[in-house]
Structure 1
Amino acid sequence: MDFRIFTEPQQGASYDDQLAVARAAEDLGFDAFFRSDHYLRMGDGSGLPGPTDSWTTLAGLARETSTIRLGTLVTSATFRHPGVLAIQVAQVDQMSGGRVELGLGAGWFTREHEAYGIPFPAKRFGMLTEQLEILTGLWGTPLDETFSHEGEVYTLEDSPALPKPVQHDPLHPGRAGVPIIIGGGGPSKTPALAARFATEYNQAFPAKDTIRERFDVVNAACEAAGRDVSTLKRSAALVLCVGTDEAQVRSRAAAIGREPEELRRNGVAGTVSEAVATIGALRESGVERLYLQVLDLHDLDHLELVASQIIPQVG
């Protein structure tokens, strides 16, 4: 199983805070550093020092790390024109030497759009679908050809389709592209979209007893599309709160404003032995990659505990 660190910087984190976590995660051997793509704090609090843009942040991290993979979980299709996003992602992939992954979703947080003047259309699934068509089309267009797209939302005419990512599209060998992550709990549209475009299907904060069933749905979508189900990585994102003893568990839960028992039900939480058991059960449910949501970005000892005492037992 792959283990990735997943952060929520909109809750109040500077670029330097994120850099410290990314470097620690890299040094400790985690597979990747991911961050959310939001512009407004959720819940109470000031949100100081304020939001950081995800792709600006990842560009900086691309130059200040060397091995760890970098990405978003997930970028909102409402935030950027797909042509601009294609350029941003390809450039950061170049800057990182081919370590970028793109999680892309339809967006959901109405308030952040209102706060920063970002349009938030009621119907966004078609927008998301077209963005995926455009992104993969731009990256996959041969160097001596142009790309055009005429859809209900976007029109592109004779684009030179540059720049190209360093990586190759895992679903289309020989074409430039980056791994794409699609997630969600929809019963049909999202699984079908994942089967068509994604290299990874992610469940974000699912009820643990629904994980296997939701993977079965996306497996069926792959089969319906004629795709080998083994080519789609299955992942989950869950909040992390572990400690060497109960006192440390409770201290870490208090630091993020959560209750230990709620975290045990819904996340990877508790003592080391409890976390090991939880991860084992997640593996049995079909999880191949686990995103550990770290909400206290100043507690780097939390990462060290996972790397030194938990992953060796389950990795």
Structure 2
Amino acid sequence: MDLRIFTEPQQGATYDDLLAVARAAEDLGFDGFFRSDHYLHMGGDGGAGPTDAWTTLAGLARETSTIRLGTLVTSATFRYPGPLAVQVAGVDQMSGGRVELGLGAGWFEAEHTAYGIPFPPLGERFDRLEEQLAVITGLWETKPGETFSHNGAHYPVVDSPALAKPVQEGGVPIIIGGGGKRRTPALAVRYAAEFNAAFASAADSGRLFERVREVAGDAGRDPASLTLSAAQVVCLGNDDATLARRAAAIGREVDELRANGLAGSADEVVDRIGAFTEVGAQRLYLQVLDLSDLDHLADIADGVLRQLS
């Protein structure tokens, strides 16, 4: 089971906060450091305000050396696909080929209105997501010296030189996730290297995984070629006082976290992770919400990462 650290910087983290967490995660042996792509806080006052996902990842690409970096997930409503393909390819170059792109349709209407970003109806957002995936992958897959065109309703592209190119052969791995039963698994099977079930129970994650595997088989894709992952909030404390303190720091109750995430002692967290392993999860994103508590990362690495590795 790969373990990755997942952060929510829109709650008020600065770039320096993210750098400290990314470096700690790398030093402790976690597989990846990922961040959300949001422009508005969800509860609280937003602290120092949001940081742009790909701007910060570009900085982290130069200030880390081994850890995987990416978004979970970038909203397709925020950026045009051509410039996004250039941007992500550039960060991949800066990192030496360590970047992954989580891409979704977008859902948080308030952040769109707060920053003047159009927020079309759900059906159109999915149409735009599908077209963005076609453009981004098409640009990356175009051979050097050739051009790429796309006759799309939302993002027509004509004779693009399809530059810049990612370092990773075949392009940056794409992550698609969600609970949709039809379009989401179809898009994952067609475009993604990884399907993510975010904040669902192990049983519900298993059902989502089974649906994706079924769609892959029907489409003629080897289901084993698609990495299956989950995301869960984590709150570890090897004694009651530490656990209560860490839960309070993120505005949550211990019992609620135990019911809806990975909370408790290291052994308890490992047991909960085992339920996700049993339903097919190969990778887990641990949502860490208190970015000032680097000892939390160390405790997770010492008590959980070591057991799973």
Which of residues 298, 305, 311 is equivalent to 2:299?
305
1:310 is displaced (CA, Å) by 1.3
1:101 is aligned to 100
User: Which deviations, in whole Å up to 9, do the C-alpha atoms of 1:98-130 show, x marking residues without a partner?
Assistant: 000000000000000000000111121110000
Correspondence 1:128 to 2:129? yes
1: CA distance, partners of 2:192 / 2:245 = 38
Query: Could you tell me how far 1:271 is from its partner in structure 2?
Result: 1.1
TM-score by length of 2: 0.98
Any idea what SS the aligned residue of 2:210 has?
helix
What is residue 242 of structure 2 aligned with on the other side? Answer: 248
SS in 2 for 1:276: helix
The reply to whether residue 292 of structure 1 matches residue 293 of structure 2 is no
Give the match's secondary structure for 1:86.
helix
Which amino acid in 2 is paired with 1:149?
H
Distance in 2 of aligned mates of 1:251 and 1:208: 26
Aligned residues: 307
8 Å Cα contact 1:8/1:36 also seen in 2 = yes
Matches within 5 A, 1:24-43: 24-43=24-43
Distance in 2, Cα, partners of 1:199 & 1:209:
22
Residue 163 of structure 2 corresponds to residue 162 of structure 1: yes
For 1:174, the equivalent position in structure 2 comes to none
Partner of 1:148: 149
Q: Write the distance in 2 (CA, Å) between the matches of 1:282 and 1:5.
A: 17
Q: Which residue of 2 aligns with 1:2?
A: 2
Match of 1:282 in 2: 276
Query: Any idea what SS the aligned residue of 1:13 has?
Result: coil
Which structure 1 segments of 5+ residues have no match?
170-176
Deviation at 1:73, TM superposition (A): 0.1
Per-residue Cα deviation, 1:227-248 (whole angstroms, up to 9, x for no partner)? 0011000000000101111211
Q: Is the 8 A contact 1:17 1:298 kept in 2?
A: yes
Q: Which amino acid aligns with 1:109?
A: F
1:124 aligns to what SS in structure 2? helix
Does structure 1 conserve the Cα–Cα contact (< 8 Å) formed by 2:62 and 2:94?
yes
The answer as to whether partners of 1:279 and 1:314 remain within 8 angstroms in 2 is no
Q: Which residue of 2 aligns with 1:173?
A: none
Quote the offset at 1:198 in angstroms.
0.5
- Once residues 81 and 183 of structure 1 are traced to their aligned partners in structure 2, the CA distance between those partners, rounded to angstroms, is 20
The residue type paired with residue 31 of structure 2 is D
* Structure 2, gaps ≥5 residues long: none
Distance 2:78 2:22 in 1: 24
TM-score (norm 1): 0.96
Partner of 2:76: 77
Q: Residues 280 and 314 of structure 1 are in contact (CA less than 8 Å); yes or no, is this contact kept in structure 2? A: no
Offset of residue 214 of structure 1 = 1.1
Contact kept? 2:77, 2:106, Cα under 8 Å: yes
Identity of matched residues, %: 67
TM-superposition CA deviations, 1:134-170 (whole Å, max 9, x none): 000001101110011111111111111000000012x
Mapped to 1, the partners of 2:78 and 2:183 lie a distance apart of: 21
Output one character per residue of 1:40-76: Cα deviation in whole Å (capped at 9) or x when no partner. 0012x21120000000000000000000010000000
Supply the AA of the counterpart residue of 1:7.
T
C-alpha distance in structure 2 between counterparts of 1:37 and 1:187, whole Å: 24
Counterparts in 2 of 1:186-201, with a 5 A limit? 186-201=180-195
Answer yes or no: is the 8 Å Cα contact 2:178–2:197 preserved in 1: yes
| Pairwise CA distance, 1:207 | 2.4
Conserved in 2, the CA contact under 8 Å of 1:77 and 1:105?
yes
Displacement, 1:312? 1.6
Letter in 2 for 1:272: A
